[in-house]
Structure 1
Amino acid sequence: MGPLQYVRLASWDALRLSSAFPHHRPSRTVRCFSGWGKPLLVARKPRSRGDGRGVTSLQEDPRPQEATQEEESHSDLKSHPVLKTDADGTPAKKFWPQFRKQNAPPSNEEFVNLRNDDFPRKKRRIQQIPLSVERTEGSEILFGFAPCSLALQRSKRNFFQLFLKVSKGDASPAMMDFSQQAQDRGIPTKWVNRKVLNALCKGGVHQGVCLEATPLQPVGWQEGPPLQSESATVSEGSQLLWLVLERILDPMNLGAILRSAHFLGVDRIVMSQKNSCPLTPVVSKASSGAMEVLDVFATDDLHSFLKTKSDQGWEILGTVGAKRPPDDIPIVSCLDFRWTSPTVLMLGNEGSGLSPEIRSLCHRMLTIPPGRELEAGIECLNVSVAAAILLHSICRQKMKAP
């Protein structure tokens, strides 16, 4: 006899056993296998029907009322259908479909809704189609009101075309002013939609204006025109302030430093040529157009530049955080510093600060005193914020001309 026949015979015996001991709660049929040898709680006797088929029924329970109430307390079993049998002991055909229907698992739709509640569907991203805009090779895109307006006014670049956002109604006065400036300079103007402007400035805040122009390059510090006050001698107490930037990499920091330096009246800005952020449109936007106005100079030999200025009588000031560096350079608070001679203020990299080679050339180190005890990792300020504070503490001492 094969295994399949064993299974069939065992299933048939189980069905006959359940019909021999029927209950009005069919789940007990399963549990009665573990109750062999125990007295039955309910006495049973067959009753006859008019059609000649016998149906197993329940007799009145002779137990006390307390036992009956205890049995009826199992409310979780009352929802099952009644198991009925035919005369030959086989279960009624309608029982199993009804049983499956009542004990069926939740539908697939409920599982899908549960999954969607716990894990919301990701929004389908619309594939961006690249927009074809003819551009001049080697050009870059300025964006924003202030950078484009100041660039047109100073004319330090060569311009190719101006892109303005088209509107449903009449163009704003600012847009018409841009169009007029471009027309006066012979710059082609194109009215385009927002998607074209977003693609041109790569998601920057363009404010509806983009300008195609040549890149802006820093000038060598020796090629710049001499300042009028630079001819004054040190003994006369001339107040000159140059800001030197070493390895500033973040374009947002560089733009913020340029804006603060232009606002506070710094005479010249010199940045290291190597390992520094170039003068990109992002820097111009972060500086609110100050990059288009300032003359930014650069040097590929910062060590020689500082040594030259030191020999000319300039004071070289470095910057340091609240934590004292390992070297023995004097440290002075920006609140106690007195500006009495031409000064070069040095600002270093966002993470590592001034390099040891440059720090060794500094006469003194400026620091910003904190207002409380600082935890490790936040004992210094952002380089652009520190630049604004230090420049203000120095430039406020500038003597007014008689």
Structure 2
Amino acid sequence: MQPIWAPCVSVASVTSSAGLAFAVEAMQAFKFSTWKERRLWSACSCSGVFWAARCFSSKQKHLPARFGSPGQGGDEGNRQQHDSHQTRTSEQVNPESPPPPRSCKPPKDSRPPGWKYKKSPGPAASSREEFRNLREDDFSKLRRRRSQKSSSVQRTQGSEILFGIGPCSIAFSQAKRNFFQLFVKSSSSGLRPVMEEFVQQAKARGASVHYVRREVLDTLCKDEVHQGVCLEASPLGLKSIEETEVPACQDPQQIWLVLEQIQDPMNLGTLLRCAYFLGVDQVVMSRSNSCPLTPVVSKASAGAMEILDVYSTDDIPRFLKAKIEACWEVVGTVSKSEVEGNIPVVDCLDFQWEKPTVLVLGNEASGLSPGTRSLCHKMLTIPPGIALHPGLDSLNVSVATGILLHSILRQKAKQHNAISP
């Protein structure tokens, strides 16, 4: 005899089996729809709007709003995508619904005329634009890295790069340096005569010659004006005035230029050029807090640094005291607004050059130090041509030096012209 609860068990088992089957079918449909959604996203993001539209139009499916034609987007596009997703899911869950007919051509309303030639402003287009910008940035950096890599050259340890026609030409003629390599700008029209002369001089001194691009020269001289030539050579150092025997001169009209803490290489180069042109006998620099003799200084001096013997001292006051004991006159410089103290101030046009003189120039910003100023016998000043503004009452140190040296040394020229018949 069958128990009373047996029908209940059989009914429950049938019900649970049907529910399980329905759940399995629903899970499979969900997985299938998710897989199709991933295919949709991959097709649209990787191949672009054109291929995604072509793929879906061939299968009679509508493209989501975010990949569709212009004007679709926002909440409306999201609702259409959600509705199409539910429609595909219901089609997969309901096995009784007939499969959609396949056709090679999409409906006329889904493909407007000229759709192939219209660009979609969707996210795929913006992604391509961002990728294009990123690609161009990366390629420009790559070109710069390649340029830097190709422009790197092997250099001798401790050497420096002279640049410019004037410094290189005078450096070859003076032969104070050791020369290692000459870099000349390559040209399809041939070398200029001055460059051919550089090549001959470099080969005569055992230096190797390289014909390079302009970018290589720019890198060697750190984007300075090289005029198509760079020369690798040993550096020029300062000679100690205490350790060097300076040749004595019996001429009472001698003038030495003393530079205290000149730090700008352009100013130093201009000072050396003025000193050479106007006929200064010797140039002495303070060793500390001063600009060294660099290729920039040589370029600013137009090569005068290669000719002059520039000396240095660690103690300018001690050097000036030694000159005072040797009956030299120490002359400093001051502007009109800085006139103070018991030291007499003389107009540079009224200065009488009667014995050997040391002209002392100070730092561009602070001028002469108090210790150096106290040792000066006179202070020279340059009279301005107009009433000056309080914020602009002085000259650049190199310009002022040129004026002062010319006003002093012209006296020697006048005496020479008076003596000569």
TM-score range with shorter-chain normalisation?
A: 0.5 to 0.7
Q: Does 2:396 align with 1:382?
A: yes
Q: Assess, with a 3 A threshold, how the Cα gap between structure 1 residues 139 and 373 changes in structure 2: closer, same or farther.
A: same
Percent of aligned pairs with the same amino acid: 57
Residue of structure 2 aligned with 1:162, choices 182, 198, 216: 182
- In the alignment, the residues of structure 1 paired with residue 161 and residue 325 of structure 2 have an alpha-carbon distance, to the nearest angstrom, of 42
After superposition, the C-alpha distances for 1:68-96 in whole angstroms (9 at most, x for unaligned) are xxxxxxxxxxxxxxxxxxxxxxxxxxxxx
2:373 pairs, out of 356, 359, 375, with: 359
Matched letter for residue 189 of structure 1: V
Is 1:344 paired with 2:358? yes
Counterpart position of 1:136: 156
In the other structure, the counterpart of 1:209 is 229
Query: C-alpha distance in 2, partners of 1:327/1:278?
Result: 33
How many equivalent residue pairs? 275
Look up the equivalent residue of 1:337 and give its one-letter code.
F
After superposition, the Cα gap between the structure-2 partners of 1:202 and 1:322, relative to the gap in structure 1 and judged at 3 Å, is: same
Specify the SS of the correspondent of 2:306: helix
**How many angstroms does 1:126 deviate by?**
4.3
Q: Counterparts of 2:338 and 2:293 in 1: how far apart (Å)?
A: 33
**Residue type matched to 2:308 in 1?**
L
User: Displacement of 1:282 after TM fit?
Assistant: 0.2
Q: Is there any run of 5+ residues in structure 1 with no aligned partner, and where?
A: 1-107, 109-122, 233-237
Match of 1:315 in 2: 329
On the 8 A contact 2:160/2:234 being kept in 1, the answer is: yes
Choose which of 235, 251, 254 in structure 1 pairs with 2:268. 254
Report matched runs for 1:83-232 at 5 Å.
126-127=140-141, 128-129=144-145, 130=148, 131-228=151-248, 230-231=249-250
Distance 1:224 1:149 in 2: 27
Aligned to 1:332: 346
TM-score where L is the length of structure 1: 0.66
Q: Deviations over 1:268-296 (max 9, x none)?
A: 00000000000000000000000000000
Q: Aligned to 2:283, what secondary structure does the other structure show?
A: strand
Offset at residue 326 of structure 1 (A): 3.1
**Aligned partner of 2:201: which letter?**
Q
1:225 is displaced (CA, Å) by 4.5
> Distance in 2 between the 1:126 and 1:195 partners?
15
TM-score, normalised to structure 2's length? 0.63
Aligned-pair RMSD on alpha carbons?
A: 1.7
For residue 134 of structure 1, give the secondary structure of its aligned residue in structure 2.
coil
Cα distance in structure 2, aligned partners of 1:137 and 1:381: 40
Equivalent position amino acid for 1:356 in 2: P
What is the CA–CA distance in structure 1 between the aligned matches of 2:302 and 2:327, rounded to whole Å?
34
Match of 2:46 in 1: none
Q: Which has the higher helix share?
A: 2
Post-superposition offset of 1:372 = 1.2
> Aligned partners of 1:231 and 1:339: how far apart in 2?
15
Asked if residue 287 in structure 1 is aligned to residue 301 in structure 2, the reply is yes
Q: Is the 8 A contact 2:182 2:202 kept in 1?
A: yes
8 Å contact 2:180–2:206 — kept in the other structure?
no
Could you say what secondary structure the match of 1:190 adopts? strand
One-letter code of the match for 1:336? D
Report the Cα offset of residue 324 of structure 1: 3.4
**DSSP-derived class of the 1:303 partner:** helix
- Structure 1 residue 220: Cα displacement: 1.1
1:366-386 deviations in Å (ceiling 9; x for gaps): 000011111112100000000
- C-alpha distance 126-206 of structure 1, shift in aligned 2 (>3 A): farther
Indicate how the Cα distance of structure 1 residues 180 and 326 shifts in structure 2: closer, same or farther if over 3 A, else same. same
Quick check: 2:179–2:202 contact (8 Å CA) kept in 1?
Answer: no
Please state whether the residue corresponding to 1:388 is helix, strand or coil: helix
Question: Secondary structure at the residue paired with 2:336?
Answer: coil
Alignment gaps of 5+ in structure 2: 1-120, 122-135
1:271 aligns with 2:291: no
Deviations 1:154-193 (A, max 9, x none): 1111111110000012211111110011111111111111
Contact 2:162 2:168 in 1 (8 A): yes
Residue 154 of structure 1 aligns with an amino acid whose one-letter code is: Q
Q: 1:354 to 1:126 in 2, by over 3 A?
A: farther
Paired letter, 2:236:
L
Q: In structure 1, how many angstroms separate the alpha carbons of the residues matched to 2:227 and 2:338?
A: 44
Q: CA deviation at 1:262?
A: 0.1
State the secondary structure of the residue aligned to 1:270.
strand
| Alignment partners' CA distance in 2, 1:181 and 1:271 | 32
